[in-house]
Amino acid sequence: MANKQLFKSSVGRPPPETNARNEAGGKAYALSPQAALAQYAATGCLNTTFYANADMQLQTVLALCAAVEPAFVAKTAVYARQQGQMKDMPALLTAWLAQHGPEWLEPTFARVIDNGRMLRNFVQILRSGAVGRKSLGSRPKRLVQRWLNDSADARLLSAAVGNDPSLADVIKWCIRNRLTRSGRPSMPG
């Protein structure tokens, strides 16, 4: 009789062969772009980890954003912020929408940028050029200004805590382009 420890019967079919390698070089299964983006959004820290550095993670997330529909990026940003309590990733995805999915920017911004830190993260990411632009542009600038105008005093005081960029920097960037040709600030309309 054959050794039952070596030749025991398995139930069901064997798992499929692996088709990818993870950052550590081990065997893995490739995810669809949607699943991979959702995984990064819910767990990604955009910092150096044991097997991947921050730049590799950023480039992977941006490539995944380009591979899916902007509507999915918007939904992922909202989920990552509201359910996953993430900070940098939802701000990155929202900033990506400013350049690549402008029709989704406004509803996503309203649900993701919910405090001063998120506002500063969003502006910093846009100004860095990581998502394809270095200026705020008219639509993002309008959303930031609306956030500032609609905020109560307590919310603004809370938003002023922190720097790099500070809330004062954000305000300066928003009003810098509102100068008229005469060099005087234009009246808000």
* pLDDT tens digits, 130-157: 999 888 889 999 999 999 999 888 888 8
State phi, psi for 87 to the nearest 5 degrees.
Answer: -115, -60
Residues 6+ apart with CB under 8 A from 121: 87, 88, 91
State how far the Cα of 40 lies from the Cα of 62, in Å rounded to an integer: 11
State phi, psi for 185 to the nearest 5 degrees.
Answer: -65, 140
Q: Which residues of 55-72 are buried (b: 16+ CB within 10 A; e: fewer)?
A: eebbebbbebbeebebeb
Q: Give the closest residue to 92 by CA, choosing from 103, 108, 107.
A: 108
Residues 6+ apart with CB under 8 A from 116: 155, 156, 158, 159, 160, 161, 162, 167
State how far the Cα of 51 lies from the Cα of 129, in Å rounded to an integer: 25
pLDDT at res. 177? 53
Task: Find out whether 125 and 77 touch, Cβ atoms under 8 Å.
Answer: no
What are 7's two structure tokens? 């030749």
* pLDDT tens digits, 47-69: 888 888 899 999 999 999 999 99
Is pTM beyond 0.85? Reply is no
Q: Give the closest residue to 97 by CA, choosing from 106, 88, 89.
A: 106
* pLDDT tens digits, 64-90: 999 999 999 999 999 999 999 999 999
Residue indicated by tokens 């600038």: 141
Question: What average pLDDT is seen over the chain?
Answer: 88
**SS3 state of residue 84:** coil
pLDDT at res. 135? 84
Q: Give the closest residue to 92 by CA, choosing from 120, 64, 122.
A: 122
Q: Which residue has the higher pLDDT, 40 or 185?
A: 40
Give the Å distances, CA to CA, from 95 to 113, 144, 166.
Answer: 11, 12, 18
Assess whether pLDDT exceeds 70 at residue 179. no
Task: Find out whether 65 and 130 touch, Cβ atoms under 8 Å.
Answer: no
Residue-range domain boundaries for the chain: 29-176
